[in-house]
Amino acid sequence: MRNIILVLSLLLVIGCKSSKIQLATLSDVENSLTYLASDELEGRNTGSKGIEKAAVFIEDYFKKNNIKPYFKTYRDSFNLNDIVGYNVVGFIEGNDPKLKNEFVILGAHYDHIGKGKEVNGDSIANGANDDASGTVAVMEWAKYFSKAKSNKRSLLFTLFSAEEMGLKGSSHLAKRLKKENLNLYTMINLEMVGVPRAEEEIMAYITGYEKSSMGKKLNDYAQKEIIGFFPKAKGFQLFKRSDNYPFYQAFNVPAHAISTFDFTNFDYYHHVDDEADKMDFNHMTDFINVMIPALEGMINSASQEIKINDE
């Protein structure tokens, strides 16, 4: 199954190269994640010097790839007692006169826990899988859509801080956008996509699968099964534990997290060994690229085909 998806991904890359739209490359994915998960960033704890460096890195990436800030600057700032946190928000306006008034959000959290239990003299919890991997996916999609200019709906690329402090960054942004009457269609959050699942498993899963038609529709748009149902997700309450949930609460629209971490394929959750060298960059690059047709289908559908299910 995985080999078939890889072949299809390579064909997709070839097709896009012919139209001069370059998909994510292995080297770009590896370089971005390696920096975000480096010791220089000190585990990216909200309020730290390390997360400031991460924010600047993301902002510079957006500027380089002509992704505009949604607000006056890229930063959506908030206070947590004596700590100042900030989400980084990029914007690409839709190209359809009507549909551009509807928004799709692609997000991930770029913060981590800073320090962890020391192992062999190392106490920096670098957070490569959690969630530098999701952050890099969002950055790569922002670059793709900026160059492709194919999005009919408007896009927000939201990198959240203070997720590790209880979804504080995403909660702040969701409330702010709701207050400003943003017309939100859907939201996808990327959470830990740095390692592959077992060969017999579907490539990724979506939390809250039963809450909307998003999982099925993404597969329809991709014309292959890349998003599946994870039976343990409900027991672990994964739908409520990531940055999709505040948007679901505020807007009552399809808002889900997508992950390839399933508790069997990575031993270093909130551990100092969650390092860049533990990531599978071929898997990451493949996942980012095979998701693009699914995202384009969602972003460009003539009507809002993804709907909340009656519960």
- Compute the distance between CA of residue 40 and CA of residue 35 in angstroms, rounded to an integer: 8
- pLDDT of res. 4: 47
Confidence of residue 311 (pLDDT cuts 50, 70, 90): low
pLDDT over threshold 60, residue 114: yes
Any idea what DSSP says for residue 245?
H
pLDDT over threshold 80, residue 255: yes
Walk me through the domains of the chain, giving residue ranges and CATH numbers. Answer: 2-300 (3.40.630.10)
- Average pLDDT, integer, range 70-97: 97
- pLDDT of res. 18: 34
In this structure, are residues 103 and 182 in contact, taking their beta carbons and an 8 Å threshold? yes
From residue 196, give the alpha-carbon distance in Å to each of 17, 109, 200, 260, 262. Answer: 26, 20, 11, 6, 9
pLDDT over threshold 70, residue 129: yes
Confidence of residue 21 (pLDDT cuts 50, 70, 90): confident
Q: What is the mean pLDDT of the chain?
A: 94
- pLDDT of res. 15: 45
- Compute the distance between CA of residue 162 and CA of residue 271 in angstroms, rounded to an integer: 18
Question: Which residues pair with residue 157 across a beta bridge?
Answer: 90, 106
- pLDDT of res. 7: 44
Q: Which residues contact residue 229 at a Cβ distance below 8 angstroms, ignoring those fewer than 6 apart?
A: 205, 206, 209, 215
pLDDT over threshold 80, residue 5: no
- pLDDT of res. 94: 98
